[in-house]
Amino acid sequence: QLIDSAIAARQDSVTNIPPSPSIITRDYVFDYLIVGAGFSGSVIAERLASQSGKKVLVVDKRNHIGGNAYDHYDDHGVLVHRYGPHIFHTNSREVFEYLSQFTQWRSYEHRVLASVDGQLLPIPINLDTINKLYGMNLNSFQVEDFYKSLAEPREYIRTSEDVVVSKVGQELYEKFFRGYTRKQWGLDPSELDKSVIARIPTRTNRDSRYFTDTYQAMPLHGFTRMFENMLNHPNIKVMLNTDYQEIEKAIPCREMVYTGPVDEFFDYRFGKLPYRSLDFKHETHNTQVFQSAPVINYPNEHLYTRVTEFKYLTGQEHSKTSIVYEFPKAEGDPYYPVPRPENQEVYKQYKALADETAGVYFVGRLATYKYYNMDQCVAQALSVYKQIPVRA
């Protein structure tokens, strides 16, 4: 840099043109440009700023921080999640302790009912689901035998259909999984990777929790407040309503962390990667309670997949209640990468390109095309941060 300055000074004296004070030619204002203020971008921004003393600019094209985990008080004063229900759960002590620096927690174990054959039944399928559905009174051992009697063993478990049918057979698959999955993904479970439905276990006991992770809790004052605390550092500046392409040339940064869709970054060079989108229909009802569970899934009826009543999740007390319906669609904001082999092949090409792109780190659900939960995004971001050779 000293040599550069000396050369520049000599050139200036030769041409006699004083350098313009308004044009930054060499010095970087920020060390890192972080594209996206969701979990992935915010964790890396926080680490770079607070642990490595780096100056960080976080940009997001939306008008808020938090990415898809953003929550806010609606017009009626009810705390809602704009992009659908977000329930925090993890087995990682590191992730939980990391986030605990920025929020207190409210203990919360999530439960879901599925509307099947005119009844509301626990999902994941458990002992009570089977007894209620078939009017039986089996115990855990008997229900295990019952599953075995229905199961259609498959040599290879490749698809989401294989996962369910090989465990509990065709009938339960049709009642609980096939319709939901076709709605949610626009694909038959036989066209989706096994990892999608493998998220939902089958149980022989009466455990009706949706998740069994060690840590299950909601940020006491909401996700957005937690993000505010993460990003509240003198080394972090946040710019909203801004696509990074609008400012990347005007505001030089040494390196970039990108958390948007990877195919968009490379101008869809290898074609578009499918991301599943959703329409959210938010409603507020003038009643204390709207439905009998935090989330009700509708595998076989309606165009929406599920209905969420937020007060169960947040613990808020309010005379009214707010809910959201989720209507899946192909186009629109990218919410879910679609796990299937042909998409993985396309992603591999983008990944190879990303690996060769010096000075840019690709992180998160959209940039690494992974169906990650929030805690997995935090874990990935912490691990990428540790790999960044932070220059003095």
Residues within the interface to ligand UDP (CB under 6 A)? 114, 123, 176-177, 180-181, 184, 196-197, 199-200, 297, 299
Residue nearest to ligand FAD (CB): 67
- Is the Cβ of residue 40 or residue 204 nearer to ligand FAD in the bound state? 40
Shortest reach from residue 38's CB to ligand FAD, in Å: 3
**Residue 350 near residue 333, CB atoms below 8 Å:** no
x-or-dash pattern for ligand FAD, window 248-277, by CB under 6 A? -----------xx-----------------
**How far, in whole angstroms, is CA 13 from its chain's centroid?**
55
Residues numbered 320 to 349 that lie near ligand FAD (CB under 6 A) are 335
Q: From the list ligand FAD, ligand UDP, none, pick the one residue 181 interacts with, judged by a Cβ distance below 5 to 8 Å according to partner type.
A: ligand UDP
Determine the residue type at 268. Answer: Y
Tell me which of 372, 379, 384, 385 binds ligand FAD, using CB under 6 A.
372
Q: From the list ligand FAD, ligand UDP, none, pick the one residue 67 interacts with, judged by a Cβ distance below 5 to 8 Å according to partner type.
A: ligand FAD
- The stretch near ligand FAD (CB under 6 A) out of 95-103, 227-235, 344-352, 365-373 is 365-373
| Block residue for tokens 């090409």 | 349
Q: From the list ligand UDP, ligand FAD, none, pick the one residue 38 interacts with, judged by a Cβ distance below 5 to 8 Å according to partner type.
A: ligand FAD
Q: From the list ligand FAD, ligand UDP, none, pick the one residue 123 interacts with, judged by a Cβ distance below 5 to 8 Å according to partner type.
A: ligand UDP
Shortest reach from residue 54's CB to ligand FAD, in Å: 19
- Residue 184 makes contact with ligand FAD by CB under 6 A: no
Q: What is the 3-state secondary structure (H, E, C) of 52-118?
A: HCCCEEEECCCCCCCHHHCEEECCCCCEEECCCCCCCEECCHHHHHHHHCCCCEEECCCEEEEEECC
* Preceding amide of 124 cis, omega within 30: yes
Q: Which residues contact 76 (CB under 8 A, 6 or more apart)?
A: 284, 318, 320, 322
Mapping DSSP to helix (H, G, I), strand (E, B) and coil, where does residue 205 land?
coil
- Is the Cβ of residue 199 or residue 386 nearer to ligand FAD in the bound state? 199
Q: From the list ligand FAD, ligand UDP, none, pick the one residue 114 interacts with, judged by a Cβ distance below 5 to 8 Å according to partner type.
A: ligand UDP
Question: 263, 265, 268: which is closest to 369 by C-alpha?
Answer: 263
**How far, in whole angstroms, is CA 326 from its chain's centroid?**
15
- Is the Cβ of residue 38 or residue 133 nearer to ligand FAD in the bound state? 38
- Is the Cβ of residue 161 or residue 375 nearer to ligand FAD in the bound state? 375
Shortest reach from residue 368's CB to ligand FAD, in Å: 8
What are the structure tokens assigned to 138, written together?
Answer: 């089996």
| Bridge partner list, 89 | 216
d(CA 374, CA 219): 13
Q: From the list ligand UDP, ligand FAD, none, pick the one residue 269 interacts with, judged by a Cβ distance below 5 to 8 Å according to partner type.
A: none
- Residue 165 makes contact with ligand FAD by CB under 6 A: no
The DSSP code for 178 is: I
Question: 381, 385, 379: which is closest to 89 by C-alpha?
Answer: 379
Shortest reach from residue 363's CB to ligand FAD, in Å: 7
Residue 18, Cβ density class (10 Å: 0-12 exposed, 13-18 middle, ≥19 buried): exposed
d(CA 389, CA 392): 9
x-or-dash pattern for ligand FAD, window 9-38, by CB under 6 A? --------------------------xxxx
Question: 340, 390, 389: which is closest to 369 by C-alpha?
Answer: 340
Q: From the list ligand FAD, ligand UDP, none, pick the one residue 62 interacts with, judged by a Cβ distance below 5 to 8 Å according to partner type.
A: ligand FAD
- Is the Cβ of residue 75 or residue 331 nearer to ligand UDP in the bound state? 331
Cα distances (angstroms) measured from residue 368 to each of 38, 192, 281, 316, 339: 14, 18, 28, 35, 12
x-or-dash pattern for ligand FAD, window 71-110, by CB under 6 A? ------------xxxxx-----------------------
- Residue 41 makes contact with ligand FAD by CB under 6 A: yes
Q: Where does this chain bind ligand FAD (CB under 6 A)?
A: 35-41, 59-62, 67-69, 83-87, 243-244, 259-260, 278, 335, 364-366, 372-375, 377
